[in-house]
Structure 1
Amino acid sequence: MLNKGLKTFGIVTSIGMLIVLLQGALVTKTGSAEGCGATWPLCYGQLIPESSAKETIIEYSHRAWSGLMGMFVFILAVWSWKKLSHLRETKFLALMAVLFILFQGFMGAGAVIWGNNDIVLALHFGISTISFAAVALLTVLAFEDGKSSVTNVQVSKAYRNYLFGVLVYSYLVIYTGAYVKHTGATHVCNGFPLCNGSFIPDMGSGLAYQLSIQMIHRAAAMVLAVLFLVLLIWTIRRFRRYPVLFFGSIAVFLLVLVQAGAGISILFVDSYLPPALVHSLTITVLFTILSYMGMVITRRNGY
């Protein structure tokens, strides 16, 4: 079987990177960012920390697994470069995978050693999302290699521009969601769709900034759902003959609904950790599917 080892390794690395991303969300949600103190890569100055505190275990596990996956990503990138260099997207995705996993690691280390503001910390999740998408798409290329029916579609310029516009906008929504978490704005509204009993909450409560961030994210997320609905309708009407676009547009629309449901449920459940992790998972998978759709529509005459 062509590229059997690469395919298997790609799947393992993709799953591992998804775990890294969920671990990062877990660190944030449990307040474990300082679980190893202000030392990196050591934990409280130790290779293996003696502390058995929950926060230390969560942070140390995240660091250790991220380091292992960093090596996996580098191996996958080099392996793909050697075996799949004849495919147009391989070198770009390999570079993206390596650069963004390094960037992700440096940002995480910097946050521990020097501290970072909420803007940079929120960007860390966005970087993780891109890193996962690059790894997942490299794995997809390994499965596509050698197939006579490599996905190749023809779409209008308007559709192509719209899809890439939605892709960029979805990344901005990811960023606003991460910013909500890092500014402590998750629970400033006690309901949905109203915020503290009104569509426009009282900004004189001393939480004006957090309320503004929360309302911006809510509005951005609702707009994103509408954009995906338009993409779905457009695809069904004009390009349903292409399975990757047809099923991809259905998938991203359903995922944005799951994403919204998980985000809303955080406000109403006693333990908000499970829906918060689902919230992070769905937006990552959604972004990856949308990125694959974007990759496909840039192809002209196959390979």
Structure 2
Amino acid sequence: MQKLIQRLANLSAIGMFLILAMGALVTKADAGRGCGDEWPLCNGKFVPAHTISSMIEYSHRLVVGIVTLILVATFILVFRYVKRKDAKFFISATVLMTLIQAAMGAMAVVWPQSSLVLALHFGLSLLAFAFSLLLALVFTSWGQFQRDTAIRSSFKAIVWITTVYSYVVVYFGAFVRHTVSSGGCSGWPLCNGAVIPELSGSTGIVFTHRIAALLLFICILFLYLQAKKHYHDSDKLRFGSKWSLILVSLQVASGAVVTWSMGNEVAYLFTGMIHAVIVACMFGFLCYLCVLTLYDRKA
């Protein structure tokens, strides 16, 4: 039974990853209205017409439905056969975030919503993926969160502040997409040929996101340097910090590529999805570090 639960947990994490990536594609391809203003039907049909936008939107809905069924099965089995309280919390949080984002997605189709609310949809998807990833890790060696040595209070604070701030940056990035502001800054690292452009309209939105992303890179770099200074090479804190730094570096680079790919629709969609996927992985590692700090055992 434990092997079955582990497989379902792994499928849940993979499924949430797909939902997040496909959601980013829906936004980038402007396919959110591909099924009109109907839900769960798509333009009045269970099987939609073969238009690109309708297939993208309907595929996203289909994957959400399948993953939700997997999550329900995982939820039941975890609560019946798994004793660890953290596993029960992770699956409960995953199911809750998934249901809320599914409801928000349905409402966004039937009742058009503001960009602020639509951006939150991606934020909830990100949380759902992070919780599902933590659940999958519970059944691996990386899921042994208990420690034999103490964690510095200052390091705990850095981890949590950085993670919360990263969520804000990711949310703002989703806001950029939903307001279709990406074209506000042409070129990278300069914005419209200036170090500090005129901060109005879409230019101000994109430039603010760039500054926020730069500050996030600095925060994670500082986090890694602190982990390197105080914890040995094999410590999970150092491992997680190192990969957070690698991924935030890739995030910055992919953001630049997204900007450079404007004008090529296919490249723009592909690089936009890659950017969202890297962000999700980075946030997952930061959440893993947060969980490690909760299992601190005094030396």
* Structure-1-length-normalised TM-score: 0.92
Pairs aligned (count): 293
Q: Is the 8 A contact 2:75 2:92 kept in 1?
A: yes
Residue 157 of structure 2 is matched in structure 1 by 161
Residue 235 of structure 2 is matched in structure 1 by 243
Residue 21 of structure 1 is matched in structure 2 by 20
Relative to total residues, which structure has the larger helix share, 1 or 2? Answer: 2
Q: 1:209 to 1:200 in 2, by over 3 A?
A: same
5+ long unaligned stretches in structure 1: none
Q: Is the 8 A contact 2:198 2:204 kept in 1?
A: no
1:90 has 2:82 as partner: no
Moved over 6 A (4+): none
Specify the code of the residue in structure 2 equivalent to 1:196: N
Residue 30 of structure 1 is matched in structure 2 by 29
The CA deviation at 1:62 is 0.5
The CA deviation at 1:242 is 5.3
Specify the code of the residue in structure 2 equivalent to 1:299: Y
The CA deviation at 1:194 is 1.2
Residue 46 of structure 1 is matched in structure 2 by 45
Which of 95, 107, 110 is residue 110 of structure 1 equivalent to?
107
1:288 has 2:280 as partner: no
Residues 216-235 of structure 1 correspond to what in structure 2 (within 5 A)? 216-235=208-227
Residue 247 of structure 2 is matched in structure 1 by 255
Which of 53, 75, 78 is residue 77 of structure 1 equivalent to?
75
User: 1:140-173: per-residue Cα shift (whole Å, max 9, x none)?
Assistant: 112259x9x6542521111111100101000000
Residue 54 of structure 2 is matched in structure 1 by 56
1:128 has 2:125 as partner: yes
What fraction of aligned residue pairs are identical, expressed as a percent? 32
Q: Is the 8 A contact 2:231 2:238 kept in 1?
A: yes
SS at structure 2 position matched to 1:96: helix
Q: Equivalents in 2 of 1:233, 1:96: separation in Å? A: 31
Q: How much is the aligned-residue C-alpha RMSD, in angstroms?
A: 1.8
1:177 has 2:163 as partner: no
Q: Equivalents in 2 of 1:78, 1:97: separation in Å? A: 13
Q: Equivalents in 2 of 1:185, 1:79: separation in Å? A: 44
Residue 198 of structure 2 is matched in structure 1 by 202
5+ long unaligned stretches in structure 2: none
Residue 97 of structure 2 is matched in structure 1 by 100
1:8 has 2:11 as partner: no
Residue 63 of structure 2 is matched in structure 1 by 65
The CA deviation at 1:57 is 0.6
Q: Equivalents in 2 of 1:209, 1:195: separation in Å? A: 13
Q: Is the 8 A contact 2:31 2:53 kept in 1?
A: yes
Q: Equivalents in 2 of 1:136, 1:80: separation in Å? A: 15
Q: Equivalents in 2 of 1:44, 1:136: separation in Å? A: 34
Q: Equivalents in 1 of 2:82, 2:297: separation in Å? A: 18
